[in-house]
Structure 1
Amino acid sequence: MRKMPLRELAERAGASPSFVSQLERGRTSASIGMLRRIAGALGLTVADLFTEENEVGHRVLPRAHRPELPTGPGARKYLVSQRPLRNVEVYVGEFDPGASTGDEPYAHGDSQEIFVVLGGRVTLWLGDQDEARSYELAAGDSIEYRTSVPHRVANAAEEPAEVMWIIAPPTPD
């Protein structure tokens, strides 16, 4: 589903490739701790590992039920794509005036990320903090980059901003 090589999964989960191979073929079992590490490496929950569904049908996610991720003061980030994440992960964010994703840029995995401004204006910095390049983006603007590039977002405007992150394939962290 993730198109992740077995060796990469084993490395991310802290297991040997032979163990993961045997587990995948049903020749061994795993502890709860190991299942948690494997699920985490795949961007899943342990329960997702036991689902019998190969294809997920249409699923509605009411705005009030979006899982919220921890962010800084005045900022909210919500997961829009539903688990198990298969090919893409999508987040929306809301930034009050002066709010940001934090003072430090962050990176995660090495996937393609598209950042879209849905409303308001924000500044997106790409690169390490000392050498970051800034981009002023308004409603309707977008930019794409690798998730391995450190990045951060801030709303210096006097009105709230709404943004969307689209990441493919989903990142494990």
Structure 2
Amino acid sequence: MKAKLGALLRAIRSSRHITIKEVAGKAGVSSSLLSQIERNRISPSLDTLLQILEVYGVTPDKFFKDYETNSRVEIIKRDDRKIYQRKGFKYEKLCGDSQTRGNHSFNAFFLELAPGQLRGDAGNGHLGRELGIVVKGSAQLVYGEETYEIQKGDSVSFFSQIPHVIQNSSDQIFQAYWVVTPADGEDYFGEKTS
């Protein structure tokens, strides 16, 4: 846990494009202390951590929420993937549960649509963004009032707020890797049937 704390503090500072010296001056700590914290040589006291977070404009609850959700690697073996299946479509969940929580959450899955089947909602969108990479077949993406053809080898990305539907209008299986962010509040899978 100590190693992850320093790395996260360094990442926050780097993302704000400020130097160790600037942060140290505003937080009332020495540059060498902050450097040692970021390199995981020492752990900060709670008071020091709160001072640093105040400089970054990050609340403690947000910091610890991100710290918790970013603190582990999850590997899902091929045979251990959760599979959600309905008539004509199938999802294989690719990401671990810790990735579906927090401010930078996402859902990743392998999508399969039988010929003639569709997924999505032509009347409503949802918050977030989506990225799909087609690995087999072709389909139509109806995005608002526009229709796009996507086929094997194509990637597609879009804001999810616009109503959208993916329809397999061919006579072959359509397969794609799909990533949706954020994950919170959306039910992509429904109930497991197999």
Q: With structure 1 as the length reference, what TM-score do the two structures score?
A: 0.57
Partner of 1:12: none
The answer to whether the aligner puts 1:100 opposite 2:100 as a matched pair is: no
Partner of 2:88: 74
CA distance in 2, matches of 1:90, 1:106: 21
State the Cα RMSD in Å.
Answer: 3.0
Partner of 1:55: 71
In the TM superposition, residue 107 of structure 1 has moved relative to its aligned partner by: 2.2
CA distance in 1, matches of 2:180, 2:69: 23
- Cα–Cα, structure 1 residues 171 and 115, in superposed 2: closer, same or farther, change >3 Å? farther
Q: With structure 2 as the length reference, what TM-score do the two structures score?
A: 0.52
* Structure 1 unaligned blocks of 5 or more: 1-23, 25-48
CA distance in 2, matches of 1:161, 1:53: 32
In the TM superposition, residue 79 of structure 1 has moved relative to its aligned partner by: 2.0
CA distance in 2, matches of 1:124, 1:104: 11
Could you say which structure has the higher helix fraction? 2
SS across alignment from 1:172: coil
CA distance in 2, matches of 1:75, 1:62: 22
Give the AA of the match of 1:141: D
Q: Percent identity?
A: 22
Higher Cα Rg, which structure: 2
Partner of 2:156: 143
CA distance in 2, matches of 1:152, 1:56: 34
**Which of 45, 49, 64 in structure 1 is aligned with 2:79?**
64
- Cα–Cα, structure 1 residues 54 and 124, in superposed 2: closer, same or farther, change >3 Å? closer
* Structure 2 unaligned blocks of 5 or more: 1-60, 187-194
SS across alignment from 2:96: coil
